[in-house]
Chains A and B, each alone.
Chain A
Amino acid sequence: MLSGAPGAPGIVIGKASTYKRRLPSVSETFVTDGQIQYQLDEFQQARTKVENELNQILSEQDEANTEELVRMQVEVIKDPELNKQVKQKIIDENLTADAAVDSVFETYLRILKQNQAEDRSVDITDIRDRLIQVLHNYDAHDVAEGAIVIANELSPREVIEFADQGVKGIVMDRGGVNSHAAIIARSMGLPTVLGTQEGTSKITGDDQVVVDGRLGKVIVNPDGDTQERYRKQIDDYQKILRDAKKICQHPNKTKDGISFSLRANIEFVEELEAVEKYCAEGIGLLRTESIYLRNQQFKNVDEQESFYIKMLENTAPHPVVIRLFDAGGDKVLDNSSLEQNPFLGWRGIRMLLDQEELLEQQLKAICKAAAEFKGRVRILIPMVSTIEHISRVRALLDAAQEELSENGVEPDKDIELGIMVEVPNVALQADFFAQHVDFMSIGTNDLTQYLLAVDRGNERISKLYDQRHPAVWKLINRVSQAAQKESIPLSICGELASDPVSACCLVGMGIDDLSMNAAALPAVKKALRSHESSELHELAQNVLDAQTIGHVNELFSNWNSI
């Protein structure tokens, strides 16, 4: 068995197909003058082919990240200077087309590096490699439908292409969960395990493999029993997907009738459809930063307000929890102001309070939207680590409400102000923080990262990152007790809530408000509806007694979530 990081959830069994991004080397021979025209034609054909492939991807894509990336690559392949220079090399230096492509790209990549403009060089080398593949008649499309691709590392474009070809799963030696390829794999629903380090050396072309993208495991040539066990899990999962609609229409109640709430984490207006489809009770986490970062006009209060209104209009009568801009400072100021430890740095509310105008504008837009949909807006402050963060936001919020009244608009007096519990000191002193807020929400992604001192994006140590670690559970339980003591609502908005067994455990701890990626909702709901609350409580107790991640995994695999 190989371990890696869980890149994209889901389990698949299939035949491995190894894939090499780059063929060994380009030709070192020179062509005669008579062969030059042939090389020019080859290059021209390869260019057209790659451009058509990219356009094909574009026509099938509507995911914003993917689209922008591919659009940039289309411009590279159409680049007039690039084409002129490759042709020049073939004509003047008698190079073969592949060697000419390699040499011209090399020059550009070197200059980009010199000028510290490497941010997209991976997507540029990807185009170079695809051109060379085509010139070598190496067709990535040779991977059989239903195969599992085993690669050292894939570019985002390659992930998209494999998904379009009907590949079932991906295993990569390299890459972390925040890599662009992983984000794309998740959005395409392709089970993926990353950072196995030795996948390509241990797995060969005809091996049978199980890819468990939830736990980051790859099992090579599993025995009969193991295969059987996984096939059952896959069937269960498929069944849930099939029955998703039916499952979602059932009430949010455990077998013995105890209620819980399942909400959606979203970021874009386009995702509202999924919120409705999976019957989420509103938005438990509305991310605002990427919208802001993508579109500077978003600094405009009216535009922001209409974004919030759209969210509120489409989720009535449920709440919408708006998280204030949660970005690192490098996104707001100059890109060059990079920090050594951005996750421990000037980000979230720490940055917002230094950029007061930005925060004021956001609060103003939220208050204006809230006034039209009274009683439904909650504001969530990210990256809080001191009480002062809360009081300062509250003062600015009051001022924004005041300004609204002065303009003759009656403000929503019930806007709740809450905090993300993600910095460990806040979790440890949750009872104290709870006295100063209207609600709390645990962000398990960052809490885990801070608690275990593991950068989840770092592939060398990503195996150490596990939100189901006993220490994480103990801390969550502590926060839950504090919230109960102070009688304030507590929710979970991290990835942990989207894992059905973990969700059972959370509800067992008394946390009945879970927010997740909408697509995860049916499986979570089904698991919760299949159990008595006493069973959930027992699971939670056992998990709290566990000392190692191994214990937790054992408890979880013995728990029948269906």
Chain B
Amino acid sequence: MIKKNVTIVNDAGLHARPAAAMVKLASKYESDFYIHMYGYKVNGKSILGVMTLAAEKGAELELELDGEDEEEALEAIVELIDSGFGEVYEEDEQ
């Protein structure tokens, strides 16, 4: 099992779209994935769980991975979070 702390850097925080991206990525790996935040623990492969964290920009998460491909999975997930998820905002026009 490995653990790593990360900070949410994108302005919109871990809302629907980033959550979907992260869950989708995590589900590609065999390893179990949990997120700890301020005493909560959720399954990182559960979009509903991740969304309930309502992690805003600046929130600190502890990622916990356990399984054969844990190193690989952790690296990919951290990269996604650090990149601000590429796409982060809701559109709103006029």
Contact = CB atoms under 8 A, between A and B. Distances in A.
A287 B94 CA distance: 10
Interface string A83-115: 000000000000000000000000010011001
Interface stretch (A70-78, A305-313, A390-398): A70-78
Given A80-B46, A296-B84, A331-B89, A115 B53 contact: yes
Given A287-B93, A331-B89, A124 B48 contact: yes
Interface in A289-319: 289-290, 293-297
Nearest to A292: B89
Interface in B16-40: 16-17, 19-20, 23-24, 27
Given A117-B51, A119-B15, A446-B94, A79 B46 contact: yes
B56 A336 contact: yes
A117 B46 contact: no
B86 A295 contact: yes
A72 B56 contact: no
B4 interface: no
B43 A80 contact: yes
Contact of B48 (A82, A290, A336, A443): A82
B48 A81 contact: yes
B79 interface: no
A80 B92 CA distance: 31
B17 A72 contact: yes
What interface size band does chain B fall in? 35 or more
B20 A71 contact: yes
A335 B88 CA distance: 11
A178 B93 CA distance: 8
Contact of A82 (B17, B20, B42, B46): B46
Contacts of B10: 296
B91 A112 contact: no
A445 interface: yes
A287 B15 CA distance: 24
Interface in A427-479: 443, 445-446
B46 A116 contact: no
A336 B59 CA distance: 14
A60 interface: no
B11 A75 contact: no
A294 B91 contact: yes
A294 B52 contact: no
Interface string A31-68: 00000000000000000000000000000000001001
Contacts of B84: 296
A76 B86 contact: no
Nearest to A267: B93
A112 B23 CA distance: 17
B52 to A, nearest CB: 5
Nearest to A110: B52
A80 B23 CA distance: 11
Contacts of B20: 68, 71-72, 75
Interface in B68-93: 84, 86-93
B91 A115 contact: no
Contact of B57 (A116, A294, A334, A443): A334
Contacts of B52: 108, 111-112, 115, 117
Given A115-B53, A333-B11, A120 B16 contact: yes
Contact of B51 (A65, A112, A178, A445): A112
Given A75-B24, A82-B48, A120-B16, A331 B92 contact: yes
Nearest to B46: A81
A120 B19 CA distance: 11
Contacts of B23: 75, 79
Nearest to B85: A296
A293 B16 CA distance: 15
A349 to B, nearest CB: 15
B47 to A, nearest CB: 4
Given A115-B52, A119-B90, A335-B56, A76 B47 contact: yes
Nearest to A112: B52
A287 B11 CA distance: 21
Contact of B92 (A72, A327, A333): A327
Contacts of B45: 80
A508 interface: no
Nearest to B45: A80
Given A293-B89, A295-B86, A120 B46 contact: no
Contacts of B92: 327-328, 331
24 contacts: A68-B17, A75-B19, A76-B47, A79-B23, A79-B48, A80-B43, A81-B46, A108-B52, A115-B52, A115-B54, A116-B54, A117-B51, A117-B52, A117-B54, A119-B15, A123-B16, A124-B48, A289-B93, A293-B90, A296-B86, A327-B92, A331-B92, A335-B15, A335-B56
Given A79-B49, A108-B48, A108-B52, 18 more contacts: A68-B20, A71-B20, A72-B16, A72-B47, A75-B47, A76-B48, A81-B46, A81-B49, A115-B53, A119-B16, A124-B48, A267-B93, A287-B93, A295-B86, A295-B87, A296-B86, A326-B94, A334-B57
What 10 A-B pairs come out closest when comparing CB atoms?
A: A117-B54, A81-B46, A115-B54, A293-B89, A120-B16, A75-B47, A72-B20, A111-B52, A290-B91, A108-B48
